[in-house]
Amino acid sequence: MADLDVVVVGAGFAGIYAVHALRSSGLTVRAFEAGGGIGGTWFWNSYPGARCDVESKDYSFSFSPELEQEWSWSERYPAQPEILRYLSHVADRFDLWPHIQLNTRVTAARWDDDAAEWTVTTDDGAVVSARFFVSAVGCLSAYQVPSLPGLETFSGTWHHTARWPAEGVDFAGKRVGLIGTGSTGIQVAPQIAAVASQLYVFQRTANYAVPNRNRPWEPAAEREFKSRYRQYRKEARESFLGVPVAGTGRPVLAEPPEDVQRTFTERWQAGGGMPFLGAYTDLLVDQAANDVIAEFMRDRIRETVSDPVVAELLCPRTFPVGSKRLCQSDDYYAMYNRPNVTLVDLRSTPLESASAGGLSTTSAFYELDAIVFATGFDAISGALRQIDVRGASGVALADRWGAGPHAYLGIATAGFPNMFIVTGPGSPSVLSNMALSIEQHVEWIRDCIGYLGAHGFTTVEATSDAEEAWMAHVTEVAYSTLFPKADSWYIGANIPGKPRVFTTYVGGVGPYGSKCDEVAAAGYPGFALGAP
Ligand code: NA7
């Protein structure tokens, strides 16, 4: 008999809720977390300026009406420390700590065909068996530092934003080089510029950023909103992104230009990426439509940045708006008006190497005291692939996913019985409100395990046919949009050698949730259920 019903890997939003939901349905559960605290990606990414780009009222658990009423977010967009305080409160309130083992990395998980259970090994040498194995490792956990010749000789300090020291980093009076201008680089850059003597931003690809217009949540507005929270959560579950967004419902190309300008200007003033990209129906499916929003954004950069040469270098041109994560910042572009900030264009002068004193491009040497890598993640599949997961007949997950990660409904993969992946490849995950998508997946997993017990089954496994058909659908939907045009982490293009496969389901959170519900209600077609 297995030691536990369920082993959960990770204690971020997904692992925390998995522990709560599975325990509440009577199962024995243990979550292993590599970090010294809970929070997952929010634990590790403690760099200055780290903030969620989904509003706090959305980026929070909905499973407990009491929790959502008693917790008060201080700001429209939650900063990293407040998200950690929130998750800690959740762990306290629902008594989750005894079921979470911190500072423990899962190194291997093997399915035992005969015993019909998983054997899970951790880096402290312990081994535990469980009937079910739930990956809650997160989509943005395996960070990447690019191979830069000579980095080991650099005499200053260097850090990746996803492994920020808990005690912080003092940049006061320092010359700092920042590599990367994705969401992270754009958040951290103004914070460093405010204290450093000099900040060099090494930009390979210019990026789009909309304002946050972050502000405190006024008590009166909070009270009013909370009085209709339940209805709002329902709308969120049925929405396209997991956040109710009111668009015009019309294509931009059919709209008079002055109306387009007014609409975009209003949404730019209001702040936030989702309302901006959701303004018109064709922005993410028609290049000509996307060109309209792209030009609007480039005009905002030109009017913000005083040096016209720098402004043009900051104007993105190589991918459609929204096909990479739309960044959000209130002060990124304006930062380039500071005398202590220099933009280095890596397109015309690529980075060559590091040395004791700093960084060299093909045309110049930059003397630095510190380097910050905001160079992203081996996203979606990277963290799970770092574990030696072996399914039926000892097949390695890394081999099974050699041509790219895939999973039926983004939740289970053929050959790996009784293994579930929270927000896995083939689900809306990173292109949705993750908090909501996590809840939906965890509840589906809980209900599936409940169904097995109630009907005398002990195993569940996605069939290859169902998985292939689902991933073909995921691909078809993706290629009806502009998303695959970008060399983004969504498609694995940021990791050398990673197969170029678009694995996020962009058919909408609402329709996706309905499909998952239908499969459950019909007795799990597409899954093979087994009895002893
Ligand atoms: P991203 O979005 O993957 O951004 C990484 C940035 O680092 C991006 O600007 C990259 O340029 C740059 N990069 C990566 N490797 C290199 C090398 N070798 N040389 C120069 N520049 C490089 O990661 P983030 O952490 O910003 O954001 C990840 C998600 O977290 C975000 O989407 C939100 O959902 C939260 P590139 O564009 O590849 O040319």
pTM of the entire structure? 0.97
- Asked if residue 241 lies in contact with residue 210, where contact means CB atoms within 8 angstroms, the answer is no
Please tell me the predicted confidence (pLDDT) of residue 125. Answer: 96
Residue 479 CB coordination number (10 Å): 13
Confidence of residue 444 (pLDDT cuts 50, 70, 90): very high
pLDDT score for 245: 94
Burial tier of 423 (Cβ tally within 10 Å: 0-12, 13-18, 19+): buried
Residue 54 has φ and ψ, to the nearest 5°, of -110, 140
pLDDT tens digits along 375-397: 999 999 999 999 999 999 999 99
Which residue puts its alpha carbon closest to atom 36 of ligand 1? Answer: 205
Summarised one tens digit per residue, pLDDT across range 180-235 is 999 999 999 999 999 999 999 999 999 999 999 999 999 999 999 999 999 999 99
Mean pLDDT score across all residues of the chain: 97
pLDDT computed for residue 31 by the predictor: 98
CA–centroid distance for 467 within its chain: 23
pLDDT mean over 120-125: 97
Ligand 1: centre distance to CA 374 (Å): 6
Contact in structure between 212 and 75 (CB atoms under 8 Å): no
Residue from 184, 318, 353, 377 whose mutation best tests the ligand 1 pocket (most atoms within 8 A of CB): 184
Per-residue pLDDT at 27:
98
At 461-488, the pLDDT tens digits run: 999 999 999 999 999 999 999 999 999 9
Q: Which residue has tokens 């903030």? A: 51
* Ligand 1 atom with least separation from CA of 146: 18
Contact by Cβ (8 Å): 374, 179: yes
* Predicted local confidence at residue 495, as pLDDT: 94
Give the pLDDT confidence score for residue 407 in this predicted structure.
97
Place of tokens 């083992």: 101
Distance 8 CA to ligand 1 centre (A): 29
Q: Quote the ligand 1 centre to 401 CA distance (angstroms).
A: 23
**Residues within 6 Å of ligand 1 by CB:** 140, 146, 179-185, 204-205, 325, 346, 351, 374-377, 489, 494
What's the confidence (pLDDT) of residue 385?
93
Q: What angle do CA 438, 444, 446 make, to 5 degrees?
A: 100
Question: Phi and psi of 376, rounded to 5°?
Answer: 85, -160
Grade residue 373 by pLDDT with cuts at 50, 70 and 90. very high
Interval between CA 495 and ligand 1 midpoint (Å):
10
pLDDT of residue 134: 98
Pocket test for ligand 1, best of 41, 326, 494, 504 (most atoms within 8 A of CB): 494
At CB < 8 A and 24+ separation, what contacts does 263-272 make? Answer: 264/293, 264/296, 268/210, 268/211, 268/296, 268/300, 269/211, 269/213, 270/213, 271/210, 271/211, 271/212, 271/213, 271/214, 271/328, 271/330, 272/55, 272/210, 272/212, 272/213, 272/328
Alpha carbon of 491 to ligand 1 centroid (Å): 13
How many C-beta atoms surround the C-beta of residue 334 within 10 A? 13
